[in-house]
């Protein structure tokens, strides 16, 4: 009897702790202003659509898509940071490693003073000491211009502890003729950015200044029922002095040529262009991060990978105006799981093979993803005339809700009006789709493969996609030169997939093979 009471008591205690933890986690998320973070998949799938997706409300209020969770995120960081649980908060020091606080190097953190020099000086000190930490403290807003935190002569395993906010200048003069990135980390071995701070690219001054660089090919498939429905332009916001921003738009945070890169805890928002980019990196780990930009902000990819291997991305909330994750040429061994995507254009491999280039991508896994109100779900896009291959791709357990085109292979990718028909192509093989479920608003499956190099080993298991008439013309599944297997019946039936192998698959010449 007494034993039973003790057990009951223990159980209650556990429940209390669990509930307490949950609420802590929520408050943390809300503070960081993530966009859409319902973990309750079934609820979001079954709920009737309530959104207006107007997509052109005022620039800092783009949360129309989310259901009932209003998000009280102010544009400027809170002056009084609410009590929040540390996210990844091993104390900055361990052993004999040193910390260097930007405030001690003259940074003001008032949101107006240019703190670029102070950041450069802090980096110069941090760079000399292995496993040291550069601290960007909370409750401050640092205005920092384009900056490169560069090796290769730095010590290894540096930590960039970001708890405050870093904002980008909106004065065109800060950008010269235009730069490809704002905050750059290059040629480092062991570099970690962590904390619960914010990187804010002040993107709104850039978004309207230039037309879309690369309008998405798939938009051709999305035809409004009501022709009078036109896409309104993004509202005009003038940069300082009324001068135009350069036409080249920077990526907010870019890593180049580095080994063992970790990014965790932080929020990256309102980037002029791509939010987080990895190029030529080996060993990348990104988790517990938030990307947040309006669904109609042009070319604002969430995470962009290029020529990078051994990449792990998980537990991320990605809301942006282009691909939530984009995997480009030279990537292999990429594992993405537990990601929320939306708004955005989905998760894409490509585009690959532009201007007759060779592209090699292999061993990519994307699983346990929730997509809401995105243009595409999971997509592979290649240009005609390319070479190389995409091999070994698994898309598993992707929950889609009101996604226009959940499953896309497009080997005729073209951002111009017309592209020439060409015989060579990036070869696609071993593309597995399993448990892709939810609702679509335009077309459930679109497989457009090359005439000369058909897609092979495309397999589908447990596909359940239901139509939701929204405001577009709707289509049946489409396949062209797509070969593979259906391991289970699919909803809707995908009769257009050709079972087995193509009878005459042209073989790529040796120099086209990866
Ligand atoms: C098309 O959209 C316009 C503007 O929203 C509306 O006035 C009109 O009634 C719509 N037409 C149809 C057929 O739905
Ligand atoms: C990267 O990290 C792994 C695991 O911690 C380690 O074995 C490897 O040596 C590191 N690579 C470099 C170049 O430091
Ligand atoms: C594929 O990538 C995963 C990491 O995502 C890695 O663990 C695995 O070993 C890779 N497989 C092959 C055959 O290289
Ligand atoms: C390219 O090929 C497609 C399909 O065979 C055909 O419909 C289209 O007209 C061709 N385009 C050009 C520009 O030749």
Are residues 468 and 389 part of one domain? yes
The whole-number pLDDT of residue 232 equals 53
Q: Residue 318 falls within a domain, yes or no?
A: yes
Q: Which of 28-42, 127-141, 271-285 has the lowest mean pLDDT?
A: 28-42
Find out whether the beta carbon of 230 lies less than 6 Å from any atom of ligand 1.
no
The CA distances from residue 467 to 332, 474, 487, in Å, are 34, 8, 22
| Averaged pLDDT, 264-276 | 98
C-alpha 33/C-alpha 69 separation (Å) is 11
pLDDT at site 211: 56
Lowest mean pLDDT among 44-58, 125-139, 276-290: 44-58
Task: Tell me the two tokens of residue 303.
Answer: 């995470």
For residues 61 and 53, what is the distance between their CA atoms, to the nearest angstrom? 12
The Å distance, Cα 454 to ligand 4 centre, comes to: 16
The model's pTM is 0.81
Range of the domain at 441: 344-513
CA angle in degrees (0–180, nearest 5) for 404-415-467: 10
Residue of 228, 469, 472 to mutate, ligand 1, most atoms within 8 A of C-beta: 228
Q: Which atom of ligand 3 is nearest to the CA of 363?
A: 1
Q: Is 259 in the pocket of ligand 2 (CB under 6 A)?
A: yes
Residues with CB under 6 A from ligand 4: 418, 421
pLDDT of residue 45: 33
Q: Which residue of 327, 331, 363 sits with most ligand 3 atoms within 8 Å of its CB, as the best mutation to test the pocket?
A: 363
* pLDDT of the residue at 97: 72
Mean pLDDT, the chain, as a whole number? 83
pLDDT at 197: 98
Ligand 3 atom with the shortest distance to the CA of 312? 5
Residue 94's pLDDT band, with cuts at 50, 70 and 90, is: very low
Is residue 42 domain-resident? no
Q: Is the pLDDT of residue 40 over 70?
A: no
Q: Are residues 356 and 303 in the same domain?
A: no
Band of pLDDT at residue 210, cut at 50, 70 and 90: low
- CATH code of the domain containing 292: 2.160.20.10
Q: Among 367, 352, 485, which residue's Cα sits nearest to residue 427?
A: 352
- Specify the number of domains making up the chain: 2
Token pair in block for residue 308: 């990078």
**Same structural domain, 398 and 359:** yes
Assess whether pLDDT exceeds 50 at residue 96.
yes
Inform me whether the pLDDT recorded for 305 exceeds 90. yes
> Quick one: 400 and 508 in the same domain?
yes
Whether 59 has a pLDDT exceeding 50, the answer reads no
Residue 50 in this model has a pLDDT that exceeds 60: no
Q: What angle do CA 187, 192, 193 make, to 5 degrees?
A: 110
| Residue 376 scores a pLDDT above 50 | yes
133 and 276 assigned to the same domain: yes
Question: If you average pLDDT over residues 358-386, what whole number do you get?
Answer: 97
Percent of the chain with pLDDT strictly greater than 90: 70
Q: Report percent pLDDT > 70 for the chain.
A: 76
Tell me, yes or no, whether 173 lies in a domain.
yes
For a substitution probing ligand 3, which of 285, 312, 333, 365 has the most ligand atoms within 8 Å of its CB? 333
In this structure, the answer to whether residues 415 and 314 fall within a common structural domain is: no
Name beta bridge partners: 445: 407
Do 318 and 349 fall within a single domain? no
Q: How far apart are CA 227 and CA 363, in angstroms?
A: 42
**Which region among 166-170, 207-211, 313-317 has the lowest average model confidence (pLDDT)?**
207-211
Backbone angles phi, psi at 408, to 5 degrees: -135, 130
**CA 465 to chain CA centroid, nearest Å:** 23
Asked if residue 79 belongs to a domain, the reply is no
Q: Which ligand is nearest to the CA of 224?
A: 1
Residues 318 and 178 in one domain: yes
Nearest to 356 by CA among 320, 329, 376, 323: 329
pLDDT at 511: 77
Beta strands in 322-386 (DSSP E): 325-327, 332-341, 347-352, 358-372, 376-383
Examine the pLDDT at 183 and tell me if it is beyond 70.
Answer: yes
* The predicted structure's pLDDT at residue 6: 42
Would the pLDDT of 351 be above 60?
Answer: yes
Q: What is the pLDDT of residue 382?
A: 97
Catalytic residues: 345
Q: Does a structural domain hold residue 73?
A: no
Q: Which atom of ligand 1 is nearest to the CA of 229?
A: 2
Same domain assignment for residues 383 and 440? yes
CB 305 within 8 Å of CB 278: yes
How many angstroms separate the alpha carbon of residue 419 from the centre of ligand 4?
Answer: 9
CA of 51 to the centre of ligand 1 (A): 18
Is the pLDDT confidence value at 212 over 70?
no
- Mean pLDDT of the 427-450 span: 97
Out of 159-163, 209-213, 419-423, 475-479, pick the least confident: 209-213
Q: Is the pLDDT of residue 13 over 60?
A: no
Say whether both 169 and 311 belong to one domain.
Answer: yes
357 and 505 in a single domain? The answer is yes
Task: Check if 260 has its Cβ closer than 6 Å to any atom of ligand 2.
Answer: yes
pLDDT interval class at 218 (50, 70, 90): confident
Q: What pLDDT score does 88 carry? A: 42
User: Which residues does 505 contact at the CB level (< 8 Å), separation at least 6?
Assistant: 453, 454, 456
Predicted confidence at residue 234, as pLDDT, reads 52
pLDDT at 39: 37
Among 291, 322, 353, residue at a domain's last position: 322
Query: What is the pLDDT confidence band of residue 465, given thresholds at 50, 70 and 90?
Result: very high
Q: Are residues 299 and 267 in the same domain?
A: yes
421 alpha carbon – ligand 4 mean position (Å): 6
Using the 3D structure, point to which of 322, 352, 371 is the last residue of a domain: 322
Nearest alpha carbon to residue 142 among 172, 122, 126, 164: 164
In terms of pLDDT, which residue wins out, 398 or 470?
398
Distance between Cα 365 and ligand 3 center (Å): 9
What is the gyration radius of the CA atoms in the chain, in angstroms? 24
Residue 284 included in any domain: yes
Q: Which atom of ligand 4 is nearest to the CA of 418?
A: 13
CB-ligand 1 contact for 228 (6 Å cutoff)? yes
**CA-283 nearest atom, ligand 2:** 1
Is 39 part of any domain? no
The whole-number average pLDDT for the span 48-65 is 36
Residue 87 lies in a domain: no
């Amino acid at each position: 009897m007494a034993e039973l009471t003790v057990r009951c008591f223990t159980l209650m205690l556990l429940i209390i702790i669990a509930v307490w933890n949950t609420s802590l986690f929520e408050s943390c998320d809300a503070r960081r202003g993530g966009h859409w973070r319902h973990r309750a998949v079934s609820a979001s799938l079954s709920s009737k659509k309530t959104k207006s997706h107007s997509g052109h409300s005022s620039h800092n209020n783009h949360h129309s898509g989310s259901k009932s969770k209003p998000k009280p995120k102010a544009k400027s960081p809170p002056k009084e940071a609410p009590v929040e649980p540390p996210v990844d908060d091993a104390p900055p020091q361990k052993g004999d490693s040193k910390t260097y606080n930007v405030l001690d190097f003259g940074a003001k953190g008032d949101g107006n003073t240019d703190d670029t020099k102070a950041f450069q000086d802090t980096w110069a000190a941090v760079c000399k000491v292995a496993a040291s930490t550069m601290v960007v403290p909370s409750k401050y807003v640092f205005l920092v211009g384009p900056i490169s935190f560069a090796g290769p002569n730095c010590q290894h395993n540096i930590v960039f502890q970001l708890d405050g906010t870093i904002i980008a200048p909106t004065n065109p003069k800060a950008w010269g003729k235009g730069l490809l990135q704002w905050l750059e980390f290059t040629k480092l071995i062991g570099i970690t950015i962590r904390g619960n701070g914010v990187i804010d690219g002040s993107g709104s001054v850039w978004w309207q200044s230039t037309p879309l660089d690369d309008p998405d090919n798939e938009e051709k498939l999305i035809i409004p029922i009501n022709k009078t429905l036109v896409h309104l332009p993004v509202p005009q916001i003038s940069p300082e002095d009324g001068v135009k921003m350069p036409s080249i738009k920077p990526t907010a945070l870019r890593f180049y040529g580095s080994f063992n890169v970790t990014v965790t805890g932080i929020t990256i928002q309102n980037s002029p262009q791509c939010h987080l980019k990895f190029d030529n990196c080996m060993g990348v780990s990104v988790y517990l991060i938030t990307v947040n930009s309006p669904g109609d902000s042009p070319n604002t990819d969430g995470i962009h990978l290029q020529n990078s291997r051994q990449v792990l991305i998980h537990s991320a909330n990605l809301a942006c105006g282009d691909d939530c994750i984009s995997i480009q040429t030279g990537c292999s061994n990429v594992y993405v799981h537990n990601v929320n995507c939306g708004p955005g254009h989905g998760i894409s491999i490509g585009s690959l093979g532009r201007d007759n280039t060779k592209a090699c991508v292999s061993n990519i896994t994307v699983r346990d993803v929730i997509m809401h109100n995105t243009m595409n779900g999971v997509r592979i896009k290649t240009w005609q005339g390319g070479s190389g291959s995409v091999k070994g791709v698994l898309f598993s357990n992707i929950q889609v809700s009101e996604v226009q085109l959940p499953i896309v292979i497009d080997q005729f990718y073209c951002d111009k009006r017309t592209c020439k028909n060409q015989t060579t192509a990036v070869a696609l093989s071993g593309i597995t789709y399993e448990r892709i479920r939810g609702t679509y608003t335009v077309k459930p499956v679109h497989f457009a493969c090359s005439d000369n190099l058909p897609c092979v080993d495309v397999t589908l298991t447990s596909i359940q996609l239901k139509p939701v008439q929204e405001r577009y013309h709707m289509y049946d599944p489409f396949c062209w030169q797509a070969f593979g297997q259906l391991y289970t019946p699919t909803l809707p039936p995908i009769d257009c997939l050709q079972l087995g192998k193509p009878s005459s698959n042209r073989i790529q010449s040796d120099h086209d093979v990866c």
